[in-house]
Amino acid sequence: MSKAEIKNLMKSCYSEKSRLMISLIYACGFRVSELVGLKIKDLDFNQKIGYIRQGKGNKDRQFNIPFFLFEELLNQTEKQKDAGEHFLFSGPKGKLSSRNIQKIVAKAALNAGIDKDVHPHTLRHSFATHLLENGVDIRHIQILLGHSSILTTQIYTHVSTEELKKIKSPLDEMGL
């Protein structure tokens, strides 16, 4: 998805909670299972970091709490604590399922008029692609995504044709 489509998707959520969940998936490159499994105790607001515990492959990893979501996450944490919940996000029946999140993303995409097949994993792909387009080293993206192999990361990073057109030959750079 383009950055404009991501923005439009976030604006098209039917609730603040849905927008926060979609924003967090994209902003941190989460798998849907990582979002639904995120516990309040895994957020360290003083250090501005969080932890994915036992992600895919039973791996733990750290993520940065996005600055633009900091206050909303803090408020969500307080709401959940007041309700006696352990997970950052829950519904009337307790812990949300991956299917709940898939439906939220699909409904937001429909509301946004995005004519693509959009899933939570699409946001993860977009996260990786946008970081690469912004010049972030692929090895750093590998760590952020929690991949053991760089080959797995390369699958996620779809470099656009427009980005490739911007690359100049070393000869062009020398002015020969």
Q: What does the DSSP assignment read for 24-65?
A: HHHHHT--HHHHHT-BGGGEETTTTEEEE-S-GGG--EEEEP
Token pair 């309040």 is found at: 40
- Residues annotated as catalytic are 31, 56, 121, 124, 147, 156
Burial class (CB in 10 A: 0-12, 13-18, 19+), 113: exposed
Please answer whether residues 29 and 124 qualify as being in contact, where contact means their C-beta atoms are separated by less than 8 angstroms. yes
> Between the CA of residue 69 and those of 9, 92, 105, what are the distances in Å?
16, 24, 18
148: buried, middle or exposed (CB in 10 Å: 19+, 13-18, 0-12)?
A: exposed
Instruction: Give the residue among 92, 82, 76, 83 at the shortest CA–CA distance from 43.
Output: 76
> What DSSP state is assigned to residue 67?
G
